[in-house]
Amino acid sequence: MDLTTSILASGLRSRAETLDLVANNLANSGTPAFKSELERYALYGSEEALSANGGPDFSALSPDLRKTWINFGQGVLEETARGLDLALQGPGYFVTESPDGNLLTRNGSFQIGIDGQLRTKEGFKVKLTLPDGQPLPPNFRLNPNQSLLFDREGVLRQNNLPVARLDLMTIEDGQKLAKQGNSYFSLSDTAALKKAAQIEVHQGWLEKSNADPTSNSIHLIKISRQFEMLQKALQLHSEMGKRSTEEVGRV
């Protein structure tokens, strides 16, 4: 593969990856608390190419989508008037217990399970503590026949009595989080988690996705056009190479 073909093919690959990224943002513009992703590029060159052409300053390096950058910006809060819908205002996450370990989320669309535990729509248990922050007793259960009231600090009341508190956590560097599905995040270094302090809980509200459908639609069109231009350039280069080969054969 010649240099021009390699660069054009690399550009096509990076545009295709970005198309997938933006399309996913657009598809989840209605998912509660979804955090959009942005592309982050680096220049790529094989070890052989770098060593043979003077190292990382080699001018024929190709664009490579090394990783994505998650936009952790606050989503707009939308009123639902549902008592088990909770929205977070400020930096922090609900902690849920999944079969694969603890996962963080800002999607506060909850339900009470048949076991009397506060759970996500996927069935993950939402981590609670006693109102003073101490661990819950093993036999703790919520009464599904009584309304639940949450104050701005995440304290849960039933029958006008404080019975539990949401175990809200935060992390200084959100880029350490890894996405799990569309609403969850995992963290290998749990020591980086801290108790969330500057955060408010709003009952009867949900945080909307921070993926703006209008800007993502425009971005999708731009990337599609770039992809088409690169395709045409690659086709033209291939035809020129074929003609050159034919001309040399005639000589």
Q: Enter the tokens of residue 251.
A: 């000589």
Q: 3-class DSSP state for residue 157?
A: strand
**Residue range 163-180, pLDDT digits in tens:** 999 999 999 998 899 999
- CA proximity to 199, closest of 91, 87, 126, 93: 91
User: Is 120 found in the same domain as 156?
Assistant: yes
Q: In terms of Cα–Cα distance, which of 7, 172, 176 is closest to 91?
A: 172
- The verdict on 124 and 246 lying in the same domain is no
Q: Is the same domain home to 9 and 119?
A: no
Residue 50 pLDDT grade (very low, low, confident, very high; cuts 50, 70, 90): very low
Q: Which domain holds residue 55?
A: 3-73+211-250
Indicate if 159 and 244 belong to the same structural domain.
Answer: no
Contact 180, 122 (CB under 8 A): no
pLDDT in tens, 78-87: 999 999 999 9
More confident residue, 233 or 97: 97
C-alpha 36, offset from chain centre: 6
User: 181 and 106, same structural domain?
Assistant: yes
Is there a single domain that holds both residue 26 and residue 68? yes
pLDDT, tens digit (0-9, with 9 covering 90-100), for 93-136:
999 999 989 999 999 999 999 999 999 999 999 999 999 999 99
Find, among 115, 153, 102, 98, the residue nearest to 131 by Cα.
Answer: 153
pLDDT digits (tens, 9 = 90+) for 57-73: 444 455 555 567 899 99
Q: Based on the domain organization, do 86 and 184 belong to the same domain?
A: yes
Residue that wins the pLDDT comparison between 156 and 246: 156
Cα–Cα distance between 73 and 88 in angstroms, integer?
12
Is residue 13 domain-shared with residue 120, that is, in the same domain?
no
Q: What percent of the chain has pLDDT over 70?
A: 79
Length of the chain: 251
Residue 221 has pLDDT above 70, yes or no: yes
What is the C-alpha separation between 106 and 86, in angstroms, rounded?
Answer: 9
Q: Do 81 and 199 sit in the same domain of this protein?
A: yes
Mean pLDDT, to the nearest integer, of 134-144? Answer: 95
Which residue is associated with the tokens 């902690």? 95
Contact 143, 163 (CB under 8 A): no
Examine the domain organization and report whether 141 and 36 are in the same domain: no
Q: Please give the C-alpha separations between residue 56 and each of 40, 45, 47, 48, 60, in angstroms, as whole numbers.
A: 18, 8, 10, 11, 10
pLDDT tens sequence across 189-216: 888 899 998 999 999 999 999 999 888 7
How far apart are the C-alpha atoms of 215 and 12, rounded to whole Å? 22
More confident residue, 11 or 128: 128
Torsion 148-149-151-157 (CA) sign: negative
Same domain, 68 and 11: yes
Per the structure, the count of domains in the chain is 2
**Are 135 and 227 in a shared domain?**
no
237 vs 149, more confident: 149
> Given the structure tokens 């000589």, which residue do they identify?
251
